[in-house]
Amino acid sequence: MDFGQFTIFAPMEKSSVATVVKHTGSHYLLSHLPEWDPFPSVIRGRIRLRDSSATNPIAVGDKVRYTLHDSGDDALATIEEILPRTNYLIRRSVNLSRQAHIIAANLDRVFLIVTIEFPEVKPAFVDRFLVTCEAYNIKVVLVINKVDIYDRFALEQMEIFKSIYSGAGYDIMEVSAITGEGIEPIRELCKGKDGDNVSLFSGVSGVGKSSLIRAIDPTLDPKIREISQAHLQGRHTTTFYEMYPLQSGGFIIDTPGIRGFGLVDIEPHELSTYFPEMLRVMDNCKFMPCTHTHEPDCAVKEALEEGSISYERYNSYLGMLEEETKYR
């Protein structure tokens, strides 16, 4: 997986390095992490990601080289270059099949927040998100929020969900942003240790993501804001992505609720390698490469029959495989 080669159309000047901590359309806030000293910046010239369909060349979490033009109280930094990324999280809009958006970059982990009810968890969304994290080398933790309000039926559904995803190899945490249940282990994972320790919180609208962030650090007050920009052709809103410093050290990136999650730059033949439970057994398939659909003596289908791979996850795989093939 290519984590980004960049083309810079601008003369280089004496510059420094900082991290993008907020993105508000064409303007950015930078900070010299792990110090928290945000200052404004703009992009110089044209910076684009080579061979990428992403609508945004720079994302929160990016480390950038900048030049500071000091003019008293109106000092403004100009971003000259994006430094190589260790990873990044990218999604394709469900309505714009050829356009993609980089959510954030250089992440230590992602917490994907889900709820069994209010709103109901959507496995197709969860699995596409997890596949993308696997493809771009991002550690992901599944967090089930609102456990304080679940009735008996919802608790039974939660156990099924946990069985499916723990069986696939994912860490799962049960929490309540309201009662504080399960918050401390997440707080410990987010603490600043070595380096910056940047964690991203994501999920569909309504899962209580912002409330969870406030429970982790009550001094924070993340808000999801959208500003209408009718002059942007085909795009009616600008979404804000923002990083926050934790009192305990470390940093949290808050993201708006995501409605859909399309895959980007994942070839059909490599898709199964991003399902950890399939990756564990696929070397035993008789034929290589194996699509795990119609081939005889397929180790993945044998594991499916034995129960070590869930039918829910396998069906998600088939849906993604069909989708990726369809758009090629």
State the pTM of this model. Answer: 0.85
Q: Cα angle vertex 74, ends 73, 79, to 5°?
A: 130
Q: In the block, which residue shows the tokens 């990324």?
A: 85
Q: In the block, which residue shows the tokens 């508000």?
A: 24
What single letter denotes the amino acid at residue 187?
Answer: R
CATH superfamily to which 88-254 belongs? P-loop containing nucleotide triphosphate hydrolases (3.40.50.300)
Residue 9: what pLDDT?
35
Q: Where in the chain is the domain with CATH 1.10.40.50?
A: 268-326
Which one has a higher pLDDT value, 276 or 326? 276
Residue 232: what pLDDT?
27
pLDDT digits (tens, 9 = 90+) for 247-300: 989 999 998 877 678 888 888 889 999 999 999 999 999 999 899 999 999 999
**Contacts with 311 (C-beta within 8 Å, 6 or more apart), sequence order:** 304
* Three-class secondary structure of residue 232 per DSSP: coil
What single letter denotes the amino acid at residue 232?
Answer: L
Q: Where in the chain is the domain with CATH 3.40.50.300?
A: 88-254
pLDDT digits (tens, 9 = 90+) for 16-47: 999 999 987 778 999 999 999 999 998 876 66
pLDDT digits (tens, 9 = 90+) for 51-76: 456 777 899 999 999 998 765 556 68
pLDDT digits (tens, 9 = 90+) for 121-159: 999 999 999 999 999 999 999 999 999 999 999 999 999
Instruction: Residue 272: name the closest of 326, 216, 327, 321 by CA.
Output: 321
**Contacts with 107 (C-beta within 8 Å, 6 or more apart), sequence order:** 61, 87, 88, 89, 138, 198, 199, 200, 253
Q: Which CATH architecture has domain 268-326?
A: Orthogonal Bundle (1.10)
Residue 30: what pLDDT?
95
The CATH label, of 3.40.47.40, 3.90.1150.10, 3.40.605.10, 2.40.50.140, for the domain at 6-82 is: 2.40.50.140
What is the pairing mode between strands 100-105 and 109-114?
unpaired
Residue 48: what pLDDT?
54
Q: Where in the chain is the domain with CATH 2.40.50.140?
A: 6-82
Query: What is the Cα–Cα distance from 179 to 175, expressed in whole angstroms?
Result: 9
Whole-number Cα distances in Å, 52 to 92, 98, 167: 11, 10, 34
- Other residues' Cβ atoms within 10 Å of the Cβ of residue 317: 23
